[in-house]
């Protein structure tokens, strides 16, 4: 029996066994006071460390291989952060005015900045706090003269508060078998990079740093979301067998990824991929995806200056032509009035999750929005482009966008610029308001995409990152399921397609119910596409419809979970556990 079992969020599937290696091993920070005479010396000490960290990041960027070239941009952003006068001056000011050591001033500043990003509702933007933490960890280690440890040359399981791409590039990746972090989530750099490298990874492992021991053997279960510290021989044998079975299953799904996702009784379902950046397009093409169901357009706007129309056109056109003739659905900016514009305005809102974000921000700042829409319309001349609007709450918001698109069409015609005169326009159904007026929205839209992460967040009135209310993040709650059915039915009554692009799309328990409700397509990270397509081929529409009917009649989420689990376990057997899901983690314990 293992010495300890911890639980986390499976962000990259697989099973790994190895030896614990702490990536960052700095001692606990203490509030050390200094005299006024020591301020200048302490400030200079910090400046020297900043220069050293900048140099180490530059070296790490040079080590990024071509097949991971997109992470050069991430490391470059961290280098720029070390030059950011707001960050550096804030720390220097704290040293001077609070008479504390540089390490403590750094700790306070990093915590303050990370807190700002954690308040953001969009998980992709919320996880950008990882960049701040990564730079903070490097600076802290420089101040304490306790550098990161490199791989030992053994079968390492890297453990850290968080791990950045720069950290990984300094390692011998052939020796890294798994990654465990206390912070981060499915859209963090750690998650995306570990999926690219096909390294099993769990994020958000509570208590990890306090319980794990250096050189201890550990099992990373990236399927069930478990960490086994100090496993016994029975644990090792069981997980070795499961790893071999999973590897064989994954290889089979990759070999069959180009087969259509057609259920046993002939009903075909679209399986598309979510994409963060154009440089990740190859992963989508390898996955066998039926197009791009969600392209997040925020990354280009996260630098110190706004991108030009030509820069956006180049990015969007490369995606459209790369996936053609399949469709690429571009979600317009889903940010608040800040980090995109350097993180200071909207982040000062009392409640950013309910503030000026998504379509609200875009309609308020139409100069930025029109530049993006023009680039999308022009990219439409190169491929099959669709536009999706986030955070919709009213019919008038969609009508305003249609009016803007018509104006831009006339502008582009006058300028004799090639473009698509009418791109398909859809909306994200992710607010209760949109769910309740979806019949009216369906008359104005060409398609729906259900953002299940935010929809659950708003229906249940919870902050998903708040562990005190995490138990309410329940996708099988009757209110959530009935809302999903209402949305799907409203779309079909107007003969428009409806997709699901949240994390639930890759969860077999919920996927079976969504298919039974009649969802037309799902969209997930490229890594999960082959497995989802294979899973759908094991279902039949009639059984899924019956399952959805029974679940919709239930008022007990726990009973619904048991019902679905038992039904799928009968039909799928051990294969059910090869799909990363949090819904049946308890069943594995």
pLDDT in tens, 231-247: 999 999 999 999 999 99
pTM: 0.79
Domain boundary (189, 220, 235) is at: 235
Give how far the C-alpha of residue 569 lies from the chain's centroid of Cα atoms, to the nearest Å: 28
Domain boundary (186, 202, 235) is at: 235
Please report the pLDDT score of residue 534 as a whole number.
94
Q: What is the mean pLDDT of the chain?
A: 86
Per residue in 54-89, pLDDT (tens digit) is 998 888 888 777 666 667 777 887 888 888 887 888
Residues of the domain holding 86? 4-235
Q: Please check the confidence at residue 248 and state whether its pLDDT lies above 80.
A: yes
Same domain, 190 and 284: no
State the pairing for strand pair 201-203/217-221: unpaired
Q: Please check the confidence at residue 444 and state whether its pLDDT lies above 90.
A: yes
Domain count, the chain: 2
Arithmetic mean of pLDDT, 270-296: 92
Q: Which of 57-61, 221-225, 328-332, 352-356 has the lowest mean pLDDT?
A: 352-356
Helix axes 189-197, 70-83, angle to 10 degrees: 150
DSSP sequence for 438-474: HHHHHHH-SEEEE-HHHHHHHHTT--TT-GGGGGG--
Arithmetic mean of pLDDT, 540-561: 94
Does 202 reside within a domain? yes
189 is catalytic: yes
Same domain, 154 and 295: no
Same domain, 410 and 529: yes
pLDDT interval class at 344 (50, 70, 90)? very low
Burial environment of residue 267 by CB neighbours within 10 A (0 to 12, 13 to 18, 19 or more): middle
Which residue, among 446, 578, 503, 524, has the nearest Cα to 271 in the 3D structure? Answer: 524
Per residue in 513-528, pLDDT (tens digit) is 999 999 999 999 898 8
Does 8 reside within a domain? yes
Same domain, 227 and 272: no
Same domain, 402 and 468: yes
pLDDT interval class at 122 (50, 70, 90)? low
381 C-beta neighbours (distance < 10 Å), count: 16
* Termini Cα distance of the chain: 12
Does 248 reside within a domain? no
Domain boundary (235, 269, 293) is at: 235
pLDDT interval class at 168 (50, 70, 90)? confident
Q: Which residue has better confidence, 120 or 547?
A: 547
Does 254 reside within a domain? no
Does 247 reside within a domain? no
Same domain, 189 and 336: no
Burial environment of residue 370 by CB neighbours within 10 A (0 to 12, 13 to 18, 19 or more): middle
**Out of 189, 409, 457, 534, which one is annotated catalytic?**
189
Q: Which residue has better confidence, 546 or 574?
A: 546
Q: Please check the confidence at residue 297 and state whether its pLDDT lies above 60.
A: yes
Say how far apart CA 49 and CA 128 lie, in whole Å. 23
Does 245 reside within a domain? no
Does 240 reside within a domain? no
544 is catalytic: no
Q: Which of 267-281, 392-406, 450-464 has the lowest mean pLDDT?
A: 450-464
pLDDT interval class at 127 (50, 70, 90)? low
Same domain, 264 and 205: no
Same domain, 210 and 270: no
pLDDT interval class at 462 (50, 70, 90)? confident
**Out of 501, 534, 544, 579, which one is annotated catalytic?**
501
Q: Please check the confidence at residue 588 and state whether its pLDDT lies above 50.
A: no
Same domain, 265 and 223: no
Same domain, 225 and 302: no
Beta-bridged to residue 274, according to DSSP, are: 294
Same domain, 217 and 278: no
Please report the pLDDT score of residue 316 as a whole number.
97
Does 252 reside within a domain? no
pLDDT interval class at 143 (50, 70, 90)? confident
Say how far apart CA 68 and CA 522 lie, in whole Å. 26
CATH, residue 70: 1.10.274.10
Q: Which of 106-120, 422-436, 565-579 has the lowest mean pLDDT?
A: 106-120
CATH, residue 447: 3.20.20.60
Same domain, 162 and 268: no
Percent with pLDDT over 90 in the chain:
53
Which residue, among 426, 419, 8, 38, has the nearest Cα to 222 in the 3D structure? Answer: 8
């Amino acid at each position: 029996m293992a010495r300890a079992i911890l639980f986390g969020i499976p962000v990259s599937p697989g099973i790994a066994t190895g030896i614990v290696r702490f990536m960052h091993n700095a001692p606990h920070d203490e509030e050390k006071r200094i005299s006024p005479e020591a301020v200048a010396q302490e400030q200079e000490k910090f400046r020297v460390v900043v220069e050293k960290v900048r140099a180490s990041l530059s070296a790490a960027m040079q080590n990024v291989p071509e097949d991971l070239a997109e992470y050069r941009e991430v490391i470059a952003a961290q280098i720029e952060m070390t030059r950011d006068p707001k960050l550096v001056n804030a720390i220097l000011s704290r040293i001077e005015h609070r008479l504390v050591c540089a390490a403590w001033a750094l700790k306070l500043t990093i915590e303050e900045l990370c807190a700002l990003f954690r308040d953001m509702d969009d998980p992709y933007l919320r996880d950008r706090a990882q960049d701040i933490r990564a730079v903070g960890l490097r600076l802290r280690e420089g101040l304490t003269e306790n550098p990161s440890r490199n791989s030992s040359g053994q079968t390492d399981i890297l453990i850290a508060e968080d791990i950045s791409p720069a950290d990984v590039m300094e390692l011998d990746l052939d020796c890294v078998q798994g990654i465990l972090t206390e912070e981060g989530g499915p859209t963090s750099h750690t998650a995306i990079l570990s999926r690219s490298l096909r390294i099993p990874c769990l994020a958000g492992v509570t208590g990890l740093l306090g319980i794990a021991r250096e050189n201890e053997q550990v099992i990373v279960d990236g399927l069930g979301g478990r960490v086994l510290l100090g496993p016994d021989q029975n644990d090792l044998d069981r997980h070795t067998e499961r790893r071999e079975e999973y590897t064989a299953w994954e290889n089979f799904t990759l070999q069959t990824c180009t087969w259509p996702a057609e259920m046993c009784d002939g009903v075909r379902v679209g399986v598309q991929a979510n994409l963060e950046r154009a440089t990740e397009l190859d992963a989508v093409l390898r996955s066998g995806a039926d197009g791009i169901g969600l392209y997040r357009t925020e990354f280009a706007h996260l630098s110190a200056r706004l991108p030009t129309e030509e820069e956006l056109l180049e990015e969007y056109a490369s995606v459209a032509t790369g996936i053609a003739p399949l469709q690429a659905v571009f979600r317009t900016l889903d940010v608040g009035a800040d980090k995109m514009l350097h993180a200071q305005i909207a982040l000062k809102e009392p409640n950013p999750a309910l503030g000026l974000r998504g379509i609200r921000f875009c309609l308020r700042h139409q100069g930025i929005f029109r530049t993006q829409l023009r680039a999308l319309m022009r990219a439409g001349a190169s491929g099959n482009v669709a536009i999706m609007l986030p955070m919709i709450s009213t019919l008038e918001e969609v009508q305003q966008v249609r009016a803007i698109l018509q104006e831009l069409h006339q502008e582009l015609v006058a300028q004799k610029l090639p473009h698509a005169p009418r791109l398909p326009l859809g909306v994200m159904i992710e607010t209760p308001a949109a769910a309740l007026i979806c019949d009216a929205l369906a008359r104005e839209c060409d398609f729906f995409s259900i953002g299940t992460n935010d929809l659950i967040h708003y229906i249940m009135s919870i902050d998903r990152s708040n562990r005190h209310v995490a138990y309410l993040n329940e996708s099988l709650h009757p209110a959530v399921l009935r809302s999903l059915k209402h949305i799907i039915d409203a779309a079909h009554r107007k003969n428009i397609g409806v997709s699901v692009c949240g994390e639930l799309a890759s969860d077999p328990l919920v996927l079976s119910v969504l298919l039974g409700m009649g969802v037309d397509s799902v969209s997930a990270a490229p890594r999960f596409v082959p497995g989802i397509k294979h899973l759908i081929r094991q279902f039949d529409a009639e059984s899924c419809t019956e399952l959805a009917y029974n679940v919709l009649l239930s008022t007990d989420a726990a009973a619904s979970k048991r019902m679905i689990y038992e039904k799928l376990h009968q039909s799928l057997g051990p294969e059910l556990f090869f799909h990363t899901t949090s819904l049946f983690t308890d069943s594995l314990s």
